[in-house]
Amino acid sequence: MSGPVSISRALGSTTRAGIYDHLRQIDGALTVRDVADTFDLHPNVARTHLGVLADAGLLTVGQRKHPGGGRPARVYRARPELDEHAALDGAAQPAGGAAAALMVRLLVTLLDRPGNPPLVTRAHDGAKEEGRRLVAALPGDPPPGRALGDAAQRAARALRTYAPDVKVSRAGSDWAEVTGLSPSVALVERLDPALAEALERGLLAGACEGSGVAADLTETSSGSRHGRVWRLTATGGRAPRSTIVAAATLDARGKSRDSGVVEAMRAITDLRPGDVLEVLAEGPGSPAAFARWADRAGHALVAVERAQDASGRPAIRLLIEKAA
């Protein structure tokens, strides 16, 4: 029998967070095979992810009888409600909390040296890139529209990897409010509130841009158990397209995800460190497949956007910077 699993650990995997969010959205029960097919996983891998989510108390486990008889299938369903205190406690207290707090303090001290760019600036920029990467790793493609509410929902979904309780609490035609992200920076908050605010702002800004919408962020309130409340206001357009000049282009449209990733591996081999490979992809899950490879290989996924080639054919454009 598996032991208890913290919510932060259970949702610390982008894939598990995506599975949990999918089950919450459909409000129904799925088998291991259903999840494996939806997320393009081996059934044993899907079973492991579902088991971790169940051990954390995020899913309930039941059985479904086969119409033709035989052994009932095990099914998984998201719990209708989650204890907010438990979720926040789990997100704010990583394993080895005291040791983690010490590591944060030491790293901040080492990084904040005279002559370096301001640490707050670097923290914001790094968090922004991470927010974009989290969105790129989500299953499915960004919606073609540019509604701020849709982008905020997708951003919140991606950020649940670090903060299980993040959500869009209110929304209008050109604005939305997001809360629940603060527990992800709780350890930094105790040491340097300004640095924590920069990290939180950067994560949300990057996730919104990765979802296809540029928005102004304003902190409207803080101090609740959910932490800061961010108000997102539409700036009147989509996130600006990247102006990076690619050193090489790979058209992976019409290929399977695995074949496209293999060709990208070969193409980037011939580039110099710091060069950018442009990949044109299509189909559900393609951005996530390339993001997983880039993350494992140490490359940086610097942009994901809708695009068209010279003939007007649509594509998902990914810019991948080769690791040093």
My answer on whether 163 and 212 are in the same domain is yes
My answer on whether 94 and 53 are in the same domain is no
Report pLDDT for 319.
Answer: 85
Q: How far apart (Å, rounded) are the C-alpha atoms in residues 304 and 211?
A: 9
240 inside domain: no
160 inside domain: yes
Q: How confident is the model at residue 242 (pLDDT cuts 50, 70, 90)?
A: very low
Average pLDDT of the segment spanning 90-113: 55
Residue 91's beta-bridge partner residues? none
My answer on whether 115 and 214 are in the same domain is yes
The residue among 86 and 156 whose pLDDT is bigger is 156
Looking at the predicted structure, is the pLDDT value of residue 88 above 70? no
Among 34, 55, 82, where does a domain finish?
Answer: 82
Q: Which of 183, 187, 207 is nearest to 195 (CA)?
A: 187
- Cα 192 from chain centroid (whole Å): 25
Report pLDDT for 264.
Answer: 93
Average pLDDT of the segment spanning 169-185: 84
Looking at the predicted structure, is the pLDDT value of residue 91 above 60? no
My answer on whether 172 and 227 are in the same domain is yes
Contacts of 143 (CB under 8 A, 6+ apart): 150, 151, 154, 211, 212
For the chain, counts of helices (H) and of strands (E): 12, 11
My answer on whether 158 and 93 are in the same domain is yes
Looking at the predicted structure, is the pLDDT value of residue 72 above 90? no
213 inside domain: yes
Confirm if 243 and 264 have CB atoms less than 8 A apart: no
My answer on whether 124 and 216 are in the same domain is yes
Q: How far apart (Å, rounded) are the C-alpha atoms in residues 256 and 179?
A: 38
pLDDT in tens, 104-135: 666 666 665 565 567 777 788 888 888 888 88
Percent of the chain with pLDDT over 90: 10
Q: How confident is the model at residue 277 (pLDDT cuts 50, 70, 90)?
A: very high
Looking at the predicted structure, is the pLDDT value of residue 265 above 90? yes
My answer on whether 26 and 60 are in the same domain is yes
Confirm if 10 and 53 have CB atoms less than 8 A apart: yes
1 inside domain: no
Helix (H) or strand (E) holding 76: strand 73-78
Report pLDDT for 223.
Answer: 46
Average pLDDT of the segment spanning 261-274: 91
The residue among 135 and 18 whose pLDDT is bigger is 135
Percent of the chain with pLDDT over 70: 77
Report pLDDT for 38.
Answer: 83
- What are the DSSP E strand ranges found in 97-247? 167-171, 175-179, 215-224, 227-234
54 inside domain: yes
Report pLDDT for 263.
Answer: 93
pTM check: above 0.85: no
Confirm if 127 and 106 have CB atoms less than 8 A apart: no
The residue among 203 and 303 whose pLDDT is bigger is 203
Q: How confident is the model at residue 268 (pLDDT cuts 50, 70, 90)?
A: very high
My answer on whether 92 and 216 are in the same domain is yes
Among 46, 61, 82, where does a domain finish?
Answer: 82
239 inside domain: no
pLDDT in tens, 130-172: 888 888 888 765 555 557 788 888 899 889 888 888 888 888 7
pLDDT in tens, 278-305: 999 887 777 888 888 888 888 888 777 7
pLDDT in tens, 50-64: 998 888 888 999 888
My answer on whether 211 and 267 are in the same domain is no
My answer on whether 120 and 224 are in the same domain is yes
- Region of 114 on the Ramachandran plot (φ > 0 left; ψ -120 to 50 alpha; else beta): beta
Q: Give the CATH number for residue 287.
A: 3.30.110.40
Report pLDDT for 224.
Answer: 52
Mean pLDDT comparison of 76-80, 100-104, 177-181, highest-scoring range: 177-181
Report pLDDT for 252.
Answer: 92
156 inside domain: yes
My answer on whether 178 and 270 are in the same domain is no
Report pLDDT for 234.
Answer: 75
Please state the domain count of the chain.
3
Q: What is the mean pLDDT of the chain?
A: 78
Report pLDDT for 50.
Answer: 92
Q: Give the CATH number for residue 46.
A: 1.10.10.10
Domain that holds residue 230: 85-234
Q: How far apart (Å, rounded) are the C-alpha atoms in residues 188 and 184?
A: 9
My answer on whether 75 and 200 are in the same domain is no
Looking at the predicted structure, is the pLDDT value of residue 251 above 90? yes
